[in-house]
Amino acid sequence: MGRENVLTRLGGALGFDDIEFESEEFNRAFRVKSEDRKFAFDLIDARMMAFLLDASSGCTFEVVGSDLLCATRRVRPAELPSLVQVLQSFHAHVPNVVWSLYPARGSSP
């Protein structure tokens, strides 16, 4: 999931649709792709949408199993603590249902 931009909007116009949620504001701001639509809907609830709209400017997130990848512009070393804070906040906003429906192998949240 990442912020919408000119290229992703062009892709949408060409038929490369992303997953649409109940929030028009979120749909305009973000593109979400997933092979498992149910997982996307379980992960991105109203609370997660509010967090992403508020705190994730410039970040693109990818979730694979229990791993989270955050891609962003190049940051200076002094900016790393704030980036780590965004990742910790993302983790804190994962709905509890995700942990029960998709348990990580050999670990707990």
Count of domains for the chain: 1
**Integer-rounded Cα radius of gyration of the chain:** 14
**Residue in 6, 8, 37 with CA at minimum distance from that of residue 20:** 37
Q: Which residue has the tokens 């997982």?
A: 39
The pLDDT of residue 13 is above 50:
no
Average pLDDT of the residues of the chain: 83
**Residue in 25, 29, 24 with CA at minimum distance from that of residue 4:** 29
**Residue in 41, 56, 44 with CA at minimum distance from that of residue 89:** 56
Identify the domain containing residue 59 by its residue range. 2-101
Q: Is 109 a member of any domain?
A: no
pLDDT at 77: 95
State both tokens at 59: 């970040």
Q: Is 44 a member of any domain?
A: yes
Task: Determine the angle formed by the axes of helices 80-92 and 46-55, rounding to 10 degrees.
Answer: 170
Tens digit of each residue's pLDDT (9 = 90 or more) over 45-84 = 999 999 999 886 678 899 888 889 998 999 999 999 999 9
